[in-house]
Amino acid sequence: MKKNVVLFWVIFLSLPTSSFSQKNRAFNSIEATKGIHCDSVYQLDLSKQKLTQLPIEILSFKNLTILNLSKNKLTKLPSNFYQLKQLTHLDLSKNKFTIFPISLCSTVSLIDLKIGRNDITLLPKCIGQLTNLEHLDIWDNQISALPDTFSKLIKLKTLDYRGVNFSSKTQAQIQALIPWVKIEFDLGCDCAH
Residue 4 is assigned to a structural domain of this protein: no
DSSP secondary structure of 105-130 = GG-TT-SEEE--SS------GGGGG-
Read off the pLDDT of residues 116-160 as tens digits, 9 standing for 90 and up: 999 999 999 999 999 999 999 999 999 999 999 999 999 999 999
Whole-number Cα distances in Å, 8 to 3, 5, 14, 94, 104: 8, 5, 10, 50, 45
Cα angle vertex 146, ends 143, 149, to 5°?
145
Which residue, 55, 78, 58, is CA-closest to 66?
58
- Per DSSP, helices labelled H in the chain are 2-14, 18-22, 168-177
1 belongs to a structural domain: no
Asked, for residue 156, whether it belongs to a domain, the answer is yes
> 118 vs 8, 36, 141, 177, CA distance in Å?
54, 33, 6, 24
The answer to whether 192 touches 169, Cβ cutoff 8 Å, is: no
* Whole-number pLDDT of residue 193: 47
User: Would residue 10 count as lying in a domain?
Assistant: no
Q: 28-34 long-range CB contacts below 8 Å, 24 or more apart?
A: 30/55, 30/57, 30/58, 33/57, 33/61
Q: Is residue 3 part of a domain?
A: no
pLDDT, position 1 = 61
Q: Does 191 reside within a domain? A: no
Residue 13 lies in a domain: no
CATH of the domain at 108: 3.80.10.10
Which parts of the chain have pLDDT scores under 70?
1-22, 188-193
Q: Which domain holds residue 108?
A: 18-184
Q: Does residue 7 lie within any of the structural domains?
A: no
Number of domains in the chain: 1
